[in-house]
């Protein structure tokens, strides 16, 4: 009888081990992905932020949401006071960490992300909704480096919760809550 119990326990353990192995029905790539995961996070994404810059000319502030609906509010990735620091670079990456934009003359409204024209499915220049990453360097990486994430959100029925985002100073009706 003791041998039969040991045999049943051994078979039960074997089935548990085999059933916990590679289950093709639960592969990570098959699970639904949240395209806004990490959106507007305050955490740096490319190493620690560094701020040794004298910002008496004007404080640098990155707005972390883009609503490309053509109303003139949050239509572009905006960096307040960037024009006061001419020796800078702005680099934008998509969700796969592929560089999709770079500028050494990022002046809001002149050289900007995303560009135009807009389309109903993807917003400006085919940029789909989702989370993007940025890296801003002024002078050099030892003087000022800031990185983070921001959201591109356009023309979908139900808005995600963007309460943690830095929206700038104007009310944006597409996201339906007042700015910070």
Q: Which residue has the higher pLDDT, 111 or 59?
A: 59
Confidence check: pLDDT of 59 > 90: yes
Confidence check: pLDDT of 20 > 50: no
Q: Label residue 3 exposed, middle or buried (CB < 10 Å: 0-12, 13-18, 19+).
A: exposed
- Across residues 94-101, what is the average pLDDT? 90
Collapsing DSSP to helix, strand or coil, 178 comes out as coil
**pTM for the whole structure:** 0.67
The pLDDT score that the predictor gives to residue 107 is 77
CB contact at 8 A, 114 and 77:
yes
- Across residues 87-116, what is the average pLDDT? 84
CA angle 52, 56, 57 (to 5 degrees): 115
Cα-Cα end-to-end distance for the chain = 72
The pLDDT score that the predictor gives to residue 31 is 37
The pLDDT score that the predictor gives to residue 75 is 82
d(CA 54, CA 111): 24
Task: Set out the domains of the chain in order of their start, with CATH numbers.
Answer: 33-152 (2.60.40)
d(CA 149, CA 94): 10
The pLDDT score that the predictor gives to residue 156 is 55
- Across residues 79-104, what is the average pLDDT? 92
Question: 40-56: per-residue pLDDT in tens?
Answer: 777 888 999 999 999 99
pLDDT bucket at 161, cuts 50 / 70 / 90: low
d(CA 57, CA 64): 22
What share of the chain has pLDDT > 90, as a percent?
30
The pLDDT score that the predictor gives to residue 135 is 96
What share of the chain has pLDDT > 70, as a percent?
57
Question: 137-150: per-residue pLDDT in tens?
Answer: 999 999 999 999 99
Distant-in-sequence contacts of 161-167, Cβ < 8 A, 24+ apart: 162/39, 162/40, 162/65, 164/40, 164/41, 164/42, 165/39, 165/40, 165/63, 165/64, 165/65, 166/40, 166/61, 166/62, 166/63, 166/64, 166/65, 167/63, 167/64, 167/65, 167/74
Q: Which residue has the higher pLDDT, 165 or 156?
A: 165
């Amino acid at each position: 009888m003791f041998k039969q119990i040991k045999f049943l326990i051994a078979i039960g353990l074997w089935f548990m081990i085999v059933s916990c192995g590679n289950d093709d029905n639960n592969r990570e790539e098959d699970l639904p992905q949240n395209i806004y995961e990490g959106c507007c996070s305050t955490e740096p994404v490319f190493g620690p932020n560094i701020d040794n810059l004298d910002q008496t000319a004007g404080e640098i502030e990155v707005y972390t949401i883009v609503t490309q609906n053509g109303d003139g509010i949050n239509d572009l990735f905006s960096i307040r006071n960037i024009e006061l620091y001419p020796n800078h670079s702005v680099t934008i990456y998509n969700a796969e960490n592929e560089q999709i934009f770079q500028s050494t003359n990022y002046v809001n409204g002149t050289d900007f992300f995303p560009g135009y024209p807009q389309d109903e499915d993807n917003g400006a220049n085919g940029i789909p909704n989702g989370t993007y990453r940025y890296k801003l360097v002024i002078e050099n990486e030892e003087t000022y480096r800031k990185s983070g994430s921001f959201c591109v959100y356009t023309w979908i029925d139900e808005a995600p919760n963007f309460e943690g985002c830095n929206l700038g100073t104007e009310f944006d009706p597409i996201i339906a809550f007042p700015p910070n």
